[in-house]
Amino acid sequence: MTTISDHILKVRDVHYAYHTAGVATPVLHGIDLELRRGEFVIIMGPSGCGKTTLLNIIGLMMPARSGTVELDGAEVSSLDDAGRASVRRNKLGFVFQRFNLLPVLTVEQNVSLALRLRGDQLDGQAIRILERVGLADKRHSKPNALSVGEQQRAAIARAVVRRPALLLADEPTGSLDSRNAQSVLDLLRELNASDGVTTLMITHNEHLADRADRVLFMHDGRFA
Ligand SMILES: Nc1ncnc2c1ncn2[C@@H]1O[C@H](COP(=O)(O)OP(=O)(O)OP(=O)(O)O)[C@@H](O)[C@H]1O
Ligand SMILES: [Mg+2]
């Protein structure tokens, strides 16, 4: 039987419109979405249909105009800025198409920073996750000395080192060739299988979508 605690995420009737120069552009038209703990779910859909907007709302980077987002059993969409920042730090991990690594820091420092920002002890956690993603030997390198596939592995290490309840990935393979895209997906899948990282990922790549537990298709701000 499914209980409330089986779900890490519950999105209910989320609507969103961008407002530019007094003109409203409705983008999301009543999104419902539930993710169980440990699921690996992919969202696909045409460019401009609202995938990133939805991920940004779930990631508490912008507020839903209406509807609710429940994360790990708590309603989070109505929190104030400090509350949202705390949930982002403690419950969420983010991976983007552009890796957003800090260029002046080494790979290891980029990963450690995520822990320091939360006040965690380092305790070798950064090294352990870099071993998991196959980058232990590159830990003292700066991001621009890494291949793009390696940079995305480093960004994934940074995103999961805090053991997020939910990993949000917006086209994490969008800057990679097909071989690196497969290997990044292998890594995300492995972290999901062995560490139970619940993952919600956007991709345009149908070969990758085959590997999800579930694929959701979005069209014009609605799930099909
Ligand atoms: N900051 C913004 N201000 C105004 N309109 C925006 C803004 N961001 C996105 N939009 C519009 O909202 C719609 C949905 O954008 P969104 O980025 O969510 O689409 P997407 O599905 O992620 O597309 P893609 O696959 O190209 O990344 C698009 O029509 C886009 O032009
Ligand atoms: Mg997008």
Domains of the chain: which residue ranges? 4-223
pLDDT for 1 equals 56
Is the distance from the beta carbon of residue 20 to the nearest atom of ligand 1 less than 6 Å?
A: yes
| Ligand 2: centre distance to CA 47 (Å) | 7
> Is 2 a residue whose pLDDT tops 60?
no
- CA-based diameter of the chain, in Å? 52
Q: Is the CB of 133 under 6 A from ligand 1?
A: no
- State residue 63's pLDDT score: 87
How far apart CA 188 and CA 44 sit, in angstroms, is 17
Counting ligands in written order, which one lies closest to the CA of residue 218?
Answer: 1
User: Hey, what CATH topology would domain 4-223 get?
Assistant: Rossmann fold (3.40.50)
pLDDT in tens, 207-222: 999 999 999 999 999 9
pLDDT for 122: 75
Rounded mean pLDDT, 98-115 = 94
Instruction: Give yes or no for residue 3 having a pLDDT over 80.
Output: no
Strands of the sheet containing 166-170, edge to edge, are 92-96, 166-170, 199-202, 40-44, 214-219, 222-223
Q: What is the mean pLDDT of the chain?
A: 94
Give the residue with greater pLDDT, 173 vs 1: 173
What pLDDT, on a 0 to 100 scale, did the predictor assign at position 99?
86
Ligand 1 atom 9: the closest Cα is on which residue? 53
pLDDT at 92 over 80: yes
Res 117: pLDDT: 83
pLDDT of residue 161: 94
Question: Which of 73-77, 94-98, 119-123, 189-193 is predicted with the least confidence, judged by mean pLDDT?
Answer: 119-123
To the nearest 10 degrees (0 to 180), the angle between helices 107-116 and 125-132 is 130
Which residue's alpha carbon is at the smallest distance from atom 27 of ligand 1? 47
Beta carbon of 116 within 6 Å of any ligand 1 atom: no
Confidence bin at 5 (pLDDT 50/70/90): low
- Nearest 5°: the CA angle 41, 168, 139 is 120
Nearest to 71 by CA among 9, 127, 15: 9
CA of 30 to the centre of ligand 1 (A): 16
What is the average pLDDT across 9-22? 95
Q: 121 falls in which pLDDT band (50, 70, 90)? A: confident
What average pLDDT does range 173-185 have in this prediction? 93
Give the Å distance between the CA of 46 and the centre of ligand 2. Answer: 9
Residue closest to 176 by CA, chosen among 149, 209, 208: 149
pTM (global) more than 0.75: yes
Determine the atom of ligand 1 nearest the C-alpha atom of 49.
21
